[in-house]
Amino acid sequence: MAAHDPTKIGNEVWHKTGQGKYIGSAIYGASDGIITTFAVVAGVAGAGLSAAVVLILGLANLIGDGLSMAIGDFLSGRAERKYQKSEEERELWEIENHPEGEREEIRQIYKNKGLEGETLENLVAAITSNKSLWIHTMMTEELGIYIDEDSSPLKSAVVTFISFVVAGFMPLLAYVLSSHVPIFAANQFLAAVMITGITLFTVGAARVFVTGEKWYLGGLEMLVVGGISASAAYLIGFLLKGIAGAA
């Protein structure tokens, strides 16, 4: 690398390694887990339902949503891999059966990017001299597919599930521990809000590892998003409280 702003090197490292993908899955899973469970807790609190209902539905939602998210991640990761593979094979077939058409496509792509004359012809000759380079150039430039062979959809799904469940458990912690921790028992919902706030900020700040943004901005952003989501859930619970009373 040429010398440049050293604080930016981190981004490239995360981008270049498979490891970075798992950190991304962990943070994505954790964010979703907290916000989903927090919305359940807030909805139940707004409706004035019992702490038992918080626990039952919080846990049911945590496992149900965590599973669907992890399975969904795995399946879409695998489908994407398969789709890329099939496009790769198709490009290979085209290059072998219609080399002139495909060479012309490469020429048009780089002509649109501003090359011309001998420079353009040299580049076209260079790219089409190597079948693998030719295929991958077509895939990237024509289809926007950039193949990443490094990360495993299964590992990524497991990481998503674990971080979803662990982080998503935080809004329930005050309810689970309230019989042992007097300060939680005094106002379970308030305790849950505080624990969740800290977790939201921490997970948001941890995004610095993936996005390179400032940690406190990431933390604040996550806190605001989680807050809006939970407030909406609380409000709806509160407004519909009458139905529960009537039931």
**Judged by CB under 8 A, which of 26, 29, 30, 57 binds its own copies?**
57
Residue found under tokens 């807050």? 227
Length of the chain (residues): 247
| Dihedral class, residue 48 (left if φ above 0, else alpha if ψ from -120 to 50, else beta) | left
Q: Is 25 helix (H, G, I), strand (E, B) or coil?
A: helix
Q: Is 119 in the site for its own copies (CB under 8 A)?
A: yes
**Among 135, 74, 83, CA closest to 106:** 135
Residues touching its own copies, count (CB under 8 A): 93
Q: How many Å apart are CA 193 and CA 204, to the nearest integer?
A: 16
**Judged by CB under 8 A, which of 18, 64, 85, 183 binds its own copies?**
64
| Dihedral class, residue 146 (left if φ above 0, else alpha if ψ from -120 to 50, else beta) | beta
Q: Is 130 in the site for its own copies (CB under 8 A)?
A: yes
**Among 1, 26, 19, CA closest to 148:** 19
Q: Is 47 helix (H, G, I), strand (E, B) or coil?
A: coil
**Among 36, 49, 55, CA closest to 243:** 49
- Minimum CB distance to its own copies, residue 160 (Å): 14
> Of 158 and 236, which has the nearer Cβ to its own copies?
236
- Minimum CB distance to its own copies, residue 159 (Å): 18
> Of 127 and 159, which has the nearer Cβ to its own copies?
127
Please give the residues from 201 up to 240 whose contact with its own copies meets the rule CB under 8 A: 211-213, 221, 225-226, 228-230, 232-234, 236-237, 240
Please give the residues from 4 up to 33 whose contact with its own copies meets the rule CB under 8 A: 4-5, 8, 11-12, 15-16, 31
Contact yes or no for 203/222 (Cβ under 8 A):
yes
> Of 26 and 40, which has the nearer Cβ to its own copies?
40
Q: Is 152 in the site for its own copies (CB under 8 A)?
A: no
Residue 113 carries which side chain, given as an amino acid letter?
K
Region binding its own copies by CB under 8 A among candidate stretches 82-90, 154-162, 166-174, 183-191: 82-90
> Of 44 and 174, which has the nearer Cβ to its own copies?
44
Please give the residues from 185 up to 204 whose contact with its own copies meets the rule CB under 8 A: none
Residue 161 carries which side chain, given as an amino acid letter?
F
**Judged by CB under 8 A, which of 18, 85, 148, 154 binds its own copies?**
148
